[in-house]
Chain A
Amino acid sequence: MLLEGKDLSFRYHHGPWLFREIDVAIRSGEVVGLLGQNGCGKTTLGRILAGYDNPIKGKVLMNGLPLPRHGYCPVQMIFQHPERAVNPRWRLSKTITEGWVPDNDLLEKFNVRKEWLDRWPNELSGGELQRICIVRALGPQTRFLIADEITAMLDAITQARIFHSLLQIVRERNLGMLVISHDRHLIKRICDRIIFWENLVH
């Protein structure tokens, strides 16, 4: 499978262009890193690839077809700030089953404890919430993952543990993953291929 962004251009309102006519492609089974300065538009590109925003020009195609506009999106994004990616008024049991119902194996793999699910989002730490968000994004229909600085707020041991589990699942299910980060060491360690933002926008 192939996820492509073709000729993508984007700007907010009438502001300056964040990027113009860029092409990106990710294949199934491939872990691609995206490195760049902050404020350069990495997250926006991720949002467009996951179908959250529409590009001003260009299109996003999966296997040559546009992303479905209804139902489960096969491109799932995991955000930098998990506390902003969950509904604060929902118990986490509702949040985690938003798209699908994860089994115990997966919960255990990401060290999600049963008792967390009875709680509210503000009762968990960032790392704990992030693990819930990752599980939420790993439904059986997921084909591609966009991981936007998902461990930027976590300590090294938690980061290593999360990526070990995540990479294992990505390999098992032959998913494609785009890892957005500013951490060179991390990107070098886990990615098969690296895209430098500077080269992308020429």
Chain B
Amino acid sequence: MAILEVENLSVSFLRYTGMFKQQTIRVIEDLHLSINKGEMMAVVGASGSGKSLLAHAILGILPENAQMSGMIRYCGETLDPVKQAALRGREIAFVPQSVNSLDPLMRVGAQVRMTAKGKDPIAKQREVFQRYRLPENVERMYPFQLSGGMARKVLLATATVSDAQVIVADEPTSGMHADDVKEALQQLKKLTNQGCAVLLITHDVEAALETAHRVAVFFAGTIVEIAPSADFSGDGERLRHPYSRALWSALPQNKFMPISGVQPHPNEVREGCLFAEHCPLTTIDCKNKRPEMRELREGMVRCHHAT
């Protein structure tokens, strides 16, 4: 059963380009996503493509100059800003990308205990620190005393001790050592066994594939493909979208091949498929008509040519 559904989500910003000139920039466009109870879904894709904003939209913490349209449903119920604020941190937990999100004037142990449910928050916090292999003296430290990787673990611990049904984790493992990444993601996966849904936003394709059930590939403000993790293998011949294949072959353990060109900037006028410029399969159709999201081989794709 889908616990969190996102339909037709678009997010745009108003930006001042001069004294009195404004410009609307569309950063997320027409995005569909649904995640089930007990499922871990990874969102991977280009940096600057709007992945973090998807998380912020779900949590209802977009900046004030952002305009959002579309629908977000939690347990079948449509979310509005009031409901989002009520659920945030309780039913829907967030692991932010920036380690600056920790309170700089509070010992980290106390910060984790704040969200802990149950009778004995101290025991719960210590247990979770142990699971993330944080030394005991860390709980008495202030955020500035932590290394980048340790700060990330503290952020993860905060979400783990809450009893949230949905965890949205935005780049929770960047800068961590490989063993720690594995450990941290396993911890998140364990939560899915208890029925929790995890949306893992990451650029670490390898780690995402090892743990997530499904992978959503993000490009230029929208999701171009949703595929079972197992489809990322070999030369990527089972993948549905050409961008997914390019991403797969750019990994250092694969071909380390970049594609030419850059992704379209949000303020460029765009018609047709957003990937058309870089795509080996481009036809006249791609330049004129924006492909719709459709189902294909147990996944979804947004491409005219996918088979």
Is B306 among interface residues, defined by CB-CB distance under 8 A? no
B175 CB contact (under 8 Å) in A80, A125, A186, A189: A80
Is B172 among interface residues, defined by CB-CB distance under 8 A? no
Is A141 among interface residues, defined by CB-CB distance under 8 A? no
Please judge, given known A-B contacts A38-B175, A128-B48, A153-B174, whether A189 and B246 are in contact too, CB under 8 Å: no
Is A51 among interface residues, defined by CB-CB distance under 8 A? no
Is A86 among interface residues, defined by CB-CB distance under 8 A? no
Count of A residues near B, CB < 8 Å? 35
Please, how many angstroms separate the alpha-carbon atoms of A157 and B265 in the complex? 16
**B48–chain A nearest beta-carbon distance, Å:** 3
Q: Which residue of A lies closest to B52 (CB)?
A: A125
B259 x A189 contact (CB < 8 A): no
Is B258 among interface residues, defined by CB-CB distance under 8 A? yes
A39 x B247 contact (CB < 8 A): no
Count of B residues near A, CB < 8 Å? 34
B203 CB contact (under 8 Å) in A113, A149, A154, A160: A154
Please, how many angstroms separate the alpha-carbon atoms of A163 and B149 in the complex? 23
How many interface contacts (CB-CB < 8 Å) are there between A and B? Answer: 89
Q: Which of A39, A128, A149 has the most CB of B within 10 A?
A: A39
A65-78 Cβ-contact flags toward B at 8 Å (1 or 0): 00000000000000
**B13–chain A nearest beta-carbon distance, Å:** 10
Is A14 among interface residues, defined by CB-CB distance under 8 A? no
B47 CB contact (under 8 Å) in A39, A158, A190: A158
Please judge, given known A-B contacts A38-B180, A127-B48, A186-B252, whether A157 and B246 are in contact too, CB under 8 Å: yes
B47 x A154 contact (CB < 8 A): yes
- Report B-chain residues with C-beta under 8 Å of the C-beta of A56: none
A161 CB contact (under 8 Å) in B147, B203, B258: B258
Which stretch, A20-28, A93-101, A177-185, touches the partner chain B?
A177-185
Is A57 among interface residues, defined by CB-CB distance under 8 A? no
B1-32 residues with Cβ-Cβ distance < 8 A to A are: 15
B46 x A189 contact (CB < 8 A): no
A185 x B46 contact (CB < 8 A): no
Please judge, given known A-B contacts A149-B175, A182-B176, whether A156 and B250 are in contact too, CB under 8 Å: yes
B183-232 residues with Cβ-Cβ distance < 8 A to A are: 203, 205-206
A126 x B175 contact (CB < 8 A): no
- Report A-chain residues with C-beta under 8 Å of the C-beta of B148: 38, 80-81
Please, how many angstroms separate the alpha-carbon atoms of A38 and B44 in the complex? 23
Please, how many angstroms separate the alpha-carbon atoms of A189 and B251 in the complex? 10
Is B123 among interface residues, defined by CB-CB distance under 8 A? no
Is A155 among interface residues, defined by CB-CB distance under 8 A? yes
- Report A-chain residues with C-beta under 8 Å of the C-beta of B262: 111
Please, how many angstroms separate the alpha-carbon atoms of A128 and B49 in the complex? 11
B46 x A155 contact (CB < 8 A): yes
A38 CB contact (under 8 Å) in B177, B248, B252: B177
**B203–chain A nearest beta-carbon distance, Å:** 4
**A24–chain B nearest beta-carbon distance, Å:** 20
Is A142 among interface residues, defined by CB-CB distance under 8 A? no
- Report A-chain residues with C-beta under 8 Å of the C-beta of B147: 38-39
Please judge, given known A-B contacts A111-B262, A126-B48, A128-B48, whether A157 and B247 are in contact too, CB under 8 Å: yes
> Residues on B close to A: CB < 8 A?
15, 44-48, 147-150, 171, 174-180, 203, 205-206, 246-248, 250-253, 256-259, 262, 265
> Residues on A close to B: CB < 8 A?
36-39, 80-81, 111, 113, 123-128, 149, 152-161, 163-164, 182-186, 188-190
The 5 closest A-B pairs by CB, nearest first: A125-B48, A38-B149, A161-B258, A39-B147, A127-B47
**Interchain Cβ contacts under 8 Å between A and B, 7 examples:** A38-B150, A125-B47, A153-B47, A154-B47, A155-B45, A155-B247, A163-B256
